[in-house]
Amino acid sequence: MNDFLFLSASPNQRTSIAYRFADALLESFSKKHPAASVNRRDLAANPLPPLSAAYGAALTKHTPLDDPAFRQSEHLIAELERSSHLLIATPMHNFTLPATLKLWIDHVLRIGRSFSPGPDGKVGLLADRPTYIIVSSGGFHRGPQARQPDCLSDYLRLALRTIGISDCHFIYLQGLVGGEGAVAAAFASAHEQLSQTPLFAGIEPMSSALVSSV
């Protein structure tokens, strides 16, 4: 069992601001909880394979869980099941999720495995767990400077709730195209957002080195 599954989805990979913020958060968390373990999956560095026709066909029939068409999906769901917390670092792309993260969702939301259909809608079959989503964006989608819709948050919240994960906390790093000052302001705002959360409320603020290194 891992304490965290850390999914990152930015094409900027380890230089991504969302990734670096999430990574620093894990470092702060690990200082308080030295035994904490983290399983990392970089969806941009190691893209998942596209969905196959066999996978689509297997979904529509009563296919055994160990069918080869489900191998990738089964691997990702089992990986998620082994984590007590989920941390996602993702940029906003064209108002929503990057395609790499959407593909993870398409592999993980699986009828009969991670959710089942019910009379009132889909019912999640995985255990709920604290989930933190760090969203980076070049511009603003909330607050007084918002100039665009956010089609990412509600969708990702719905996708995770579909499989049983509803304890979701979104942390926004906005306005990142504005240079060093804007990044520093985004980090300060993100700290404020984190201070309202149960898991990260008591963490030490991250070092200013993180800001100046961006």
Ligand X SMILES: Cc1cc2nc3c(=O)[nH]c(=O)nc-3n(C[C@H](O)[C@H](O)[C@H](O)COP(=O)(O)O)c2cc1C
* Nearest distance from C-beta of residue 25 to ligand X, angstroms: 13
212 is in an annotated binding site: no
Residue with tokens 């993980």: 108
Minimum separation from the CB atom of position 94 to ligand X (A): 5
- CA–CA distance, 15 with 13 (Å, rounded to integer): 6
Which CB, 4 or 19, lies closer to ligand X? Answer: 19
Reduce the secondary structure of 174-198 to three states and give it as a string.
Answer: CCHHHCHHHHHHHHHHHHHHHHCCC
CA-based nearest residue to 138, from 93, 99, 194, 100 = 93
Which residues here bind ligand X, judged by CB under 6 A? 10, 12, 16-18, 91-95, 136-139, 148, 176
CB of 148 to ligand X, least distance (A): 6
Identity (one letter) of the amino acid at 110? R
64 secondary structure, DSSP code: -
Tokens matching residue 123 = 């019912």
Question: Buried (b) or exposed (e) across 26-58, using 16+ Cβ within 10 A?
Answer: bebbeeeeeeeebebbbbbeeebeeeeeebeeb
Nearest distance from C-beta of residue 98 to ligand X, angstroms: 8
At residue 172, the 3 state secondary structure works out as: strand
Write down the least CB distance from residue 143 to ligand X, Å. 13
**Is 139 flagged in the annotation as binding?**
yes
User: Was 136 annotated as part of a binding site?
Assistant: yes
Annotated ligand binding at 137? The verdict is yes
List binding-site positions for FMN.
10, 136-139
List binding-site positions.
10, 136-139
